[in-house]
Amino acid sequence: MSQGYFGAFGGAFIPEILHQTFAELTAAYEAARADADFWSEYLTVMENYSGRPTPLTYAENLSAAFGGRRIYIKREDLNQTGAHKANNVMGQGLLVKRMGKSRVIAETGAGQHGVATATMAARLGLECTIYMGAKDVARQRPNVFWMEQLGATVIPVTSGDQTLKDAVNEAMRDWVGSMDGTHYVLGTACGAHPFPEMVSWFQSVIGSEARGQILKQAGRLPDRVYACVGGGSNAMGIFQGFLDAPDVELIGVEAGGLGLATGLHAARLASADAEVGIAQGYKTYFLQDDDGQMKTTHSVAAGLDYVGVSPILANLHETGRARFIAATDAEVVEALKRLMKAEGIIGALESSHAVAGALRELPDTPEDTVILINLSGRGDKDIFTIADALHDPKWEAFIQEKADQYAKRANNPGDAS
Amino acid sequence: MSAAAHTSAIEPIIREKLSEKPILLMAHLVLGYPSIEENKKVIAQMVDAGVDLIELQIPFSEPIADGPVIAQANQAAIDAGFRVDAGLEAIAEITLTHDIPFLIMTYVNILHARGMGQFISDAAKAGVKGLIVPDLPLQEAGEAIAWSREAGLDWIQLMTPTSHDDRLAAIGAEADGFVYCVARRGVTGKNTSFDDSVGAFVTRCRAATKAPLAVGFGVKNAEDVAYLQGKAEIAVVGTAAIAAHREGGAEAVGRFFRGLRPAD
Ligand SMILES: Cc1ncc(COP(=O)(O)O)c(C=O)c1O
């Protein structure tokens, strides 16, 4: 019997060599899920290591600018390593310990999942290898730097178009040879069963906290919940707090890149460009051509330019429980600036998609609307990309100066200045 | 699923060939790499060198079960403009030109994008005798197996060293044509040492099915083939043939395969 379907999506399309590994992982996950002690251990670790519960911030100034509509922001940016990714990796890390494995591998796009995995591995004493598209290595150097400092080996992937999907393939290739002692810490709610369900479970901590917090602060459930969607893990995380409340509208914001009409985007559910397909172990909407070959995607946010999307979100899309829209690179940079200036919160470019989507739609809502935005991560890692987008001359001068300093040092190895 | 109604297209050919030689050779190649024209030359060399079966890989952008050499060949073929329609046309010509069984190896999305049933019937029309789809495992393959049988094609199952005996038995019960035994953990293209552990694995596969056994992943020289002789019906060679082609072109592939049968 095939397992792990959400409507027509999901499944486990894996090479036979991994069958037993997935069977063991599914069993370990199901046992952990049935064990209340596991979840409370998880919550304790997240509280003491990652800073949970993360706050819910009422965005007072932004709300005022929208005629008093109330905007609440769930602060996943305040997690250990600055993103919701910490929830998933620590959960899987605890599972790895239960399974008695000693090495973890992971794929990463923006690098956030790689950094989160590397910290978890350092903390739990696991050997760690991170696969990252060579293009992403180039544009997310600060995260590569941290992964290496944390003791992980970062392997740049030069196959395909050298981004996230290619890193996934490489990690799978590693795993089919190393599965005895190695666990693949998949970074999002995608891939073969049980990953979509398991990752969503660990991320559900976002939604259950947010539900309690907004009930306390706003006195009621929100009208709308916005989250950005790469693979869909932070969206699944927050949506799960409200799935059973049909009046709460759930909105996923995908990468609109240079605009849906340009073809240079990563909108799988919000555009008509994606088709249902089967790749990387599961069935969902993929950006692919008529032959079934995956297309290249584009986003200013490396963490959102993935070709597939969580099968659970694909099903929520199909059933109409969630709605999907896209925000362009330009809108996202504007939203990021606006949130910084109004609230003093530096969101990641990925997370700023959720902000952009919400701000665009807010003027068309009734004045007493309450909205909740999941701010999945913080923007420090994006300093180079954001500075490029903002053309900040002082920053450019600083980088120039640093480059000169390194060049000088390279020419005079004895000079340690 | 029921194995009852199907008469294998390939198994009788395998049995007949085995009355003349102790072990058969199956070659793998990536269609469109470096070009379909070059594929045709290579295939002519392979057939001339006595290769018994050929699996033609339709390139896919996410070949997760393949190692770097074959994965890069997939990508290069797609970058060079490979299209599935043109690939199927070339296959139709190839199967008419050479009188050995050909199979299509590819990933499930290539079938899915065309429509699973449509792809299977197009493959049958193009003259192949079987299909190998490594990311469509038994529990997801029900419809594909049924459609293949209906179209007269063999759906080739894979067995691996990590499959438990009950799983091998379930796979073996559905086997059509032959079973592809993956000699070791890991993707294609790495070295396999053909030793007792491979032997023990092949024995487990043998116990799980009545179908002939093909062993692949890492077969690279006459010694490896000699090791498999008497244990398996078919030795499968992929990456090593691509390497031979890179070094010396189509003729080198012919020489390489001739060298795999020291006894001839
Ligand atoms: C800050 C941040 N938000 C969101 C995402 C998108 O992932 P997901 O949709 O799985 O939450 C990423 C991915 O790297 C990220 O780094």
Q: Which amino acid residue places its CA nearest to atom 1 of ligand 1?
A: A377
Whether A109 contacts chain B with CB within 8 A: no
A377 DSSP β-pair partners: A83
- Work out the pLDDT band at A26, boundaries 50, 70, 90: very high
Whether B189 contacts chain A with CB within 8 A: no
Mean pLDDT over A19-35 rounds to 97
Could you please report the per-residue DSSP string of B198-256? HHHHHHHHHHH-SS-EEEESS--SHHHHHHHBTTBSEEEE-HHHHHHHHHHHHHHHHHH
Give A105's contacts in chain B (Cβ within 8 Å). Answer: none
**Residue A359 Cα to ligand 1 middle (Å):** 19
- In chain B, the domains with their CATH numbers are 10-154+232-257 (3.20.20.70)
From the list B11, B52, B55, B154, the catalytic residue is B55
Mutation site, A165, A278, A287, A297, interface B, largest B CB count within 10 A: A278
- Asked if pLDDT for residue B63 goes beyond 90, the answer is yes
Asked if residues A76 and A210 have their Cβ atoms less than 8 Å apart, the reply is no
pLDDT in tens, B97-135: 999 999 999 999 999 999 999 999 999 999 999 999 999
Mutation site, A293, A294, A306, interface B, largest B CB count within 10 A: A293
**Rounded Cα gap, residues B249 and A21, in angstroms:** 40
Q: Which amino acid residue places its CA nearest to atom 10 of ligand 1?
A: A233
Of the candidates B243, B165, B242, B161, the residue with the CA atom closest to the CA atom of residue B194: B161
Could you please report the per-residue DSSP string of B121-173? HHHHHTT--EEE-TTS-GGG-HHHHHHHHHTT-EE-EEE-TTS-HHHHHHHHH
Average pLDDT taken over every residue of chain A: 95
Catalytic residue at A107? yes
Asked if residues B54 and B82 have their Cβ atoms less than 8 Å apart, the reply is no
- Asked if pLDDT for residue B3 goes beyond 50, the answer is no
- Asked if pLDDT for residue A1 goes beyond 60, the answer is no
How many Å from the N-terminal Cα to the C-terminal Cα in chain A?
65
Whether A387 contacts chain B with CB within 8 A: no
Ligand 1 pocket, mutate which of A89, A144, A197, A228 (most atoms under 8 A from CB): A228
- Asked if pLDDT for residue A246 goes beyond 70, the answer is yes
Whether A416 contacts chain B with CB within 8 A: no
% of residues, chain A, pLDDT over 70: 99
% of residues, chain A, pLDDT over 90: 88
pLDDT at A139: 80
Average pLDDT taken over every residue of chain B: 93
Q: Distance (Å) from the C-alpha of residue B21 to the closest C-alpha of chain A?
A: 30
Residues of chain B numbered 145-174 and touching chain A (CB < 8 Å) = 158-164, 167, 171
Dihedral of the CA atoms B204, B206, B209, B213 (nearest 10)?
120
**Rounded Cα gap, residues A184 and A107, in angstroms:** 9
- Asked if pLDDT for residue B187 goes beyond 80, the answer is no
Cβ <8 Å between B114 and A179: no
Torsion-angle region of residue A220: left (phi > 0), alpha (psi -120 to 50) or beta? Answer: beta
pLDDT at B5: 56
CA distances from A2 to A200, A206, B141 (A): 20, 29, 10
Whether B50 contacts chain A with CB within 8 A: no
Mean pLDDT over A191-219 rounds to 98
pLDDT at B1: 47
- Asked if pLDDT for residue B264 goes beyond 60, the answer is no
pLDDT in tens, B14-41: 999 999 999 999 999 999 999 999 999 9
- Work out the pLDDT band at B257, boundaries 50, 70, 90: very high
Give A9's contacts in chain B (Cβ within 8 Å). Answer: none
From the list A76, A107, A209, A350, the catalytic residue is A107
Chain B residue with minimal CA distance to A192? B135
**Does the beta carbon of A238 lie inside 6 Å of ligand 1?**
no
Mean pLDDT over A352-369 rounds to 98
Mean pLDDT over A354-365 rounds to 98
Tokens coding A46: 């997240």
Give A16's contacts in chain B (Cβ within 8 Å). Answer: 134, 137-138, 158-160, 163, 171, 182
Give B136's contacts in chain A (Cβ within 8 Å). Answer: 13
Q: Distance (Å) from the C-alpha of residue A48 to the closest C-alpha of chain B?
A: 38
- Asked if pLDDT for residue A68 goes beyond 50, the answer is yes
Chain A residue with minimal CA distance to B75? A160
Residues of chain A numbered 167-196 and touching chain B (CB < 8 Å) = 169, 172-173, 176-180
**Rounded Cα gap, residues B23 and B213, in angstroms:** 10
pLDDT in tens, A273-316: 999 999 999 999 999 999 999 999 999 998 898 999 999 999 99
- Asked if pLDDT for residue A344 goes beyond 70, the answer is yes
Cβ <8 Å between B162 and A294: no
Catalytic residue at A127? no
**Rounded Cα gap, residues A382 and A329, in angstroms:** 13
Asked if residues A254 and A304 have their Cβ atoms less than 8 Å apart, the reply is yes
In this structure, the strands spanning A127-133 and A103-108 are parallel
- Work out the pLDDT band at A2, boundaries 50, 70, 90: low
pLDDT in tens, B65-102: 888 889 999 999 999 999 999 999 999 999 999 999 99
**Residue A360 Cα to ligand 1 middle (Å):** 21
Mutation site, B30, B31, B57, B64, interface A, largest A CB count within 10 A: B64
Catalytic residue at B122? no
Looking at the partner chain, which of B136, B139, B182 has a beta carbon nearest the beta carbon of A1?
B139
**Residue A305 Cα to ligand 1 middle (Å):** 10
